[in-house]
Structure 1
Amino acid sequence: MKALTVRQPYADAIASGAKPIENRSKPLPVKYIGVPVLLHAGAAHHASGITAVDLARITGARTHTWPDTRSAILAVIRFGGFHLADSNAHWCCRPWGQVPTRVQPEVWHWEIREVTCLAEPVPASGALGFWTPDDDVLAAVQRQIDLERTTT
């Protein structure tokens, strides 16, 4: 199973189910559509400096309950597809979808269709792009998934 690192506060927004779009500069590799991918919260905060409170305001939420976890697996997600953002369609995937700019002329919206949040974050070092977690990380995630199945 592969993992994808996303910086905070966006990783928490995805894990909570609030953010169904991940903006990237490249299309989603087709082999990741419909398969489980681990959502990893990166060690660094997003370069924009946006906070969870800012995201709550942008999305119209009254409050946020995102814990700002870093360097850990937060959830198992499945992508449903992807599309190229259109600079003329400013409504596309609002409020999460970015639009192309002169600095970033191509923006791809990766559509997140399913999120299964873990009860406890699993500490892990990440990497850019898709990466393969260590066996002990995968085992810790699997234990939580198995425990969830037996309690529901």
Structure 2
Amino acid sequence: MSATVLPEGDWIRGISIRQPYAACILTGAKTVENRPVRWRTGWVLLHTSQTVDRPALRDPLISRTIRDRQLITGAVDGVARITDCHQDPEGTAPYSQWAYPGAWHLVLSDVQELPLPVPARGQVVPWKPTPDLLERVLQQLSGFRP
């Protein structure tokens, strides 16, 4: 692992995202993730869940975004920072073309894709990565500075 000094305590969580939405985030095009509840800001491991939303593959926005990308499942594929979590005020235009009405919008930045996905099991709720998983991820991100 790099010589990066990591913050103490509970500084990173995992977020499991279905494909093809995770691939859209990793391309940098999708900067918002929709959730039914508020999340805290901070760093997250981007984990691809085991399932693929097949109907979503026919959405032109998604199909253009993920063209020629492999849809990895069941692995940590990258890291990102949640910089904001909000809902659109009622009666206003959506925050983003990726934002679902009524959902909490997790605004993502500093997305970094891993060269090699790290197989892992995720959870529906924010989950705490094991030290071994975190070490395997950070080995691939030499320039990562939390």
TM-score of the pair, normalised by structure 2: 0.80
- Map of 1:49 onto structure 2: 55
Provide, for residues 71-130 of structure 1, a one-character-per-residue CA deviation record: whole Å limited to 9, x for no partner: 0001110011021123422x3233100113xxxxxx111111220111111111111111
Question: What RMSD in Å do the two structures reach over aligned CA positions?
Answer: 2.3
**Separation in 1 of the partners of 2:106 and 2:132?**
28
Are 1:108 and 2:109 matched, yes or no?
no
Structure 1 segments, 4+ long, off by >6 Å, are none
**Separation in 2 of the partners of 1:62 and 1:82?**
23
**Separation in 2 of the partners of 1:113 and 1:143?**
21
Q: Is the 8 A contact 1:40 1:126 kept in 2?
A: yes
Using the TM superposition, give the Cα deviation of residue 62 of structure 1 relative to its aligned residue in structure 2, in angstroms: 7.4
Using the TM superposition, give the Cα deviation of residue 142 of structure 1 relative to its aligned residue in structure 2, in angstroms: 1.2
**Separation in 2 of the partners of 1:15 and 1:63?**
9
- Map of 1:104 onto structure 2: none
**Separation in 2 of the partners of 1:44 and 1:60?**
17
Q: Is the 8 A contact 2:24 2:62 kept in 1?
A: no
Q: 1:66 to 1:87 in 2, by over 3 A?
A: farther
Using the TM superposition, give the Cα deviation of residue 59 of structure 1 relative to its aligned residue in structure 2, in angstroms: 6.1
Using the TM superposition, give the Cα deviation of residue 36 of structure 1 relative to its aligned residue in structure 2, in angstroms: 2.0
- Map of 1:141 onto structure 2: 137
* Correspondence for 2:81 among 74, 78, 83: 78
Q: 1:60 to 1:44 in 2, by over 3 A?
A: closer
What are the residue-to-residue correspondences of 1:31-50 with 2, within 5 Å?
Answer: 33=41, 35-46=42-53, 49-50=55-56
Q: Percent same amino acid among aligned pairs? A: 28
Structure 2 unaligned blocks of 5 or more: 1-11
**Separation in 2 of the partners of 1:13 and 1:138?**
23
Q: Counterpart amino acid of 2:111? A: V
